[in-house]
């Protein structure tokens, strides 16, 4: 059991609770991103459904096969998360090694997304689900074709590329930043239905992203959990969960993986040893990010354009009372890219350009990375120019505003574009 969860002592306690028959019906997996929480939750579902008492990892019973393929009717996945990086990395592994483990990895990564569109979760929202139906159907059809098709590398690459295109669009249009109340209510209803096998598994990923009304709805099922359903919540922000929710969950803490373990995940799970050919030692998160539709270097460039446009607009629209501030702005522009065509642009036009550069913020991860690059630019400004008190005050204020924008999106689930617009204006007004 849990051989696919590398470098996490938490699974030892989980296995002990399982074998001892003391696993409570509702549990919490808490830990940083890419620490194996989701993998552990899915493996728990397989273990609970397995027809073999010891539930070995290589079990070939009908229940285990369906769970490995993420096609088991007793599995329901809920929650907002970032899918694109994992899917893109898994697709690269599949192209390199089209059989066995890499193929399963890729199919599972796509189905983690597709399972969010289980009709059980969308009752009452059929109109919205109907708009997404062509994308969902196309993804399933391509998976089926890849599953039964001939081993033709050219066709496989074409089909995979087409699948990725549809997957990214489905995530952008169908996955919200929050978990709405209607999905929690439908998940609770599903959890109380009789299982097709031994036991159901309900997984709510990034449970901290639930809307307030959804949190209250979840409390009802946590107070009286069904005997036939295992409920697993996961989060990287335990403190963001309501105390009343945390009190009803047994926590299992997933630790940050060390460098050796993360490299082992890249080699064994994503079947990629080439990541270390240049002598680098990328973290698992950085490795996954390297497959994103928006490359990290593009994010860096766009952050520079954002700041350059901000400074340019300040020079044109504001009366810079301080000579020191005027000199600071002038020196800043020399270190940033030229925002061509935006000399007289409105704030909205500038932000539209930024969003286009960043693939319309198709993933919260892109937005967060963009803000982190802005922070690094501000730090660089402090390091590379004379540290007068006015510069320190200005840049420090900017950095505080950037952190607030990140918190507004990641913690309070505000719209990225609205947060970015408020950030631009607040930074502009500070000059």
Rounded CA gap, 326 and 315, in Å?
A: 8
Instruction: For 131-209, list the strands marked E by DSSP.
Output: 200-204
Select the highest-mean-pLDDT range: 146-160, 212-226, 288-302, 409-423.
212-226
Higher pLDDT, 320 or 338: 338
**How much is the average pLDDT of 158-166?**
90
Q: Is the pLDDT of residue 258 over 80?
A: yes
Q: Is the pLDDT of residue 320 over 60?
A: no
Q: Is the pLDDT of residue 262 over 80?
A: yes
Helix (H) / strand (E) element for 190: namely: helix 181-191
- Predicted confidence (pLDDT) per residue in 217-242, tens digit: 999 999 989 999 999 999 998 988 99
Confidence of residue 97 (pLDDT cuts 50, 70, 90): confident
Q: Which of 144, 143, 81, 73 shows the shortest CA–CA distance to 112? A: 81
Please report, rounded to a whole number, the percentage of residues in the chain having pLDDT higher than 90: 35
- Predicted confidence (pLDDT) per residue in 295-317, tens digit: 777 888 888 888 888 887 777 76
Rounded CA gap, 287 and 266, in Å?
A: 8
3-state secondary structure of 218: helix
CATH of 10-289, one of 3.40.50.10190, 3.40.50.2300, 3.40.50.300, 3.10.350.10: 3.40.50.300
Average pLDDT, the chain: 84
- Predicted confidence (pLDDT) per residue in 321-359, tens digit: 556 566 666 666 666 666 666 666 677 787 887 877 776
Residue range(s) in the chain whose domain bears CATH number 3.40.50.300: 10-289
- Predicted confidence (pLDDT) per residue in 6-57, tens digit: 778 888 999 999 888 899 999 999 999 888 899 999 999 999 999 988 888 8
Query: Burial, 261: exposed, middle or buried (Cβ in 10 Å; 0-12, 13-18, 19+)?
Result: middle
What's the predicted TM-score (pTM) here?
0.72
Q: Is the pLDDT of residue 77 over 90?
A: yes
b/e sequence 246-260, b meaning 16+ C-beta within 10 Å: eebbeebebeebeee
Confidence of residue 279 (pLDDT cuts 50, 70, 90): low
Between vectors from CA 409 to CA 408 and to CA 410, what angle results, nearest 5°?
105
Rounded CA gap, 14 and 28, in Å?
A: 11
Q: Is the pLDDT of residue 414 over 80?
A: no
Which pLDDT belongs to residue 431?
74
Q: Is the pLDDT of residue 204 over 80?
A: yes
Listed range (130-144, 195-209, 331-345, 374-388) with the worst mean pLDDT: 331-345
CA contacts within 13 A on the Cβ side of 414: 16
């Amino acid at each position: 059991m849990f051989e696919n969860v590398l470098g996490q002592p938490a699974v030892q306690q989980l296995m002990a609770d399982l074998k001892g028959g003391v696993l409570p019906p509702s549990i919490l997996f808490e830990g940083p991103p890419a620490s194996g929480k989701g993998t552990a939750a899915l493996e728990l579902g397989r273990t609970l459904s397995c027809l073999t008492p010891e539930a070995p990892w290589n079990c070939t019973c009908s229940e285990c096969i369906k769970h490995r393929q993420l096609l088991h009717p007793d599995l329901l996945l809920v929650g907002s998360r970032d899918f694109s990086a994992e899917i893109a990395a898994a697709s690269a592994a599949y192209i390199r090694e089209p059989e066995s483990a890499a193929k399963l990895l890729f199919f599972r990564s796509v189905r983690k997304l597709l399972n969010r569109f289980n009709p059980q979760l969308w009752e009452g929202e059929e109109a919205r689900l109907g708009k997404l139906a062509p994308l969902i159907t196309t993804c399933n059809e391509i998976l089926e074709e890849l599953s039964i098709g001939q081993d033709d590398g050219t066709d496989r690459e074409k089909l995979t590329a087409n699948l990725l295109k549809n997957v990214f669009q489905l995530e952008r249009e169908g996955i919200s930043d929050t978990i709405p109340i209607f999905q929690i209510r439908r998940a609770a209803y599903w959890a109380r239905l009789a299982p097709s096998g031994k036991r159901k598994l309900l997984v709510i990923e990034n449970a901290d992203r639930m809307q307030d009304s959804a949190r209250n709805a979840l409390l009802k099922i946590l107070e009286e959990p069904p005997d036939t359903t295992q409920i697993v919540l996961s989060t990287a922000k335990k403190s963001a969960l309501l105390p009343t929710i945390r009190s009803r969950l047994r926590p299992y803490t997933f630790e940050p993986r060390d460098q050796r373990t993360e490299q082992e995940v890249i080699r064994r799970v994503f079947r990629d040893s080439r990541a270390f050919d240049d002598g680098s030692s990328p973290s698992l998160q950085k490795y996954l990010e390297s497959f994103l539709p928006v490359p990290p270097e593009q994010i860096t460039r766009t952050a520079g354009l954002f700041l350059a446009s901000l400074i340019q607009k300040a020079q044109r629209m504001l009366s810079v009372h301080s000579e020191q501030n005027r000199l600071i702005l002038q020196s800043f522009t020399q270190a940033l890219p030229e925002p061509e065509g935006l000399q007289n642009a409105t704030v909205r036009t500038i932000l539209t350009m930024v969003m286009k550069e960043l693939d319309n913020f198709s993933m919260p991860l892109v937005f967060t990375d963009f803000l982190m690059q802005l922070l690094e630019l501000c730090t660089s400004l402090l390091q590379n120019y004379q540290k007068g008190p006015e510069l320190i005050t200005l840049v420090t204020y900017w950095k505080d505003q950037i952190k607030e924008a990140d918190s507004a999106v990641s913690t309070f689930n505000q719209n990225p574009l609205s947060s970015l617009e408020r950030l631009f204006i607040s930074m502009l007004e500070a000059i």
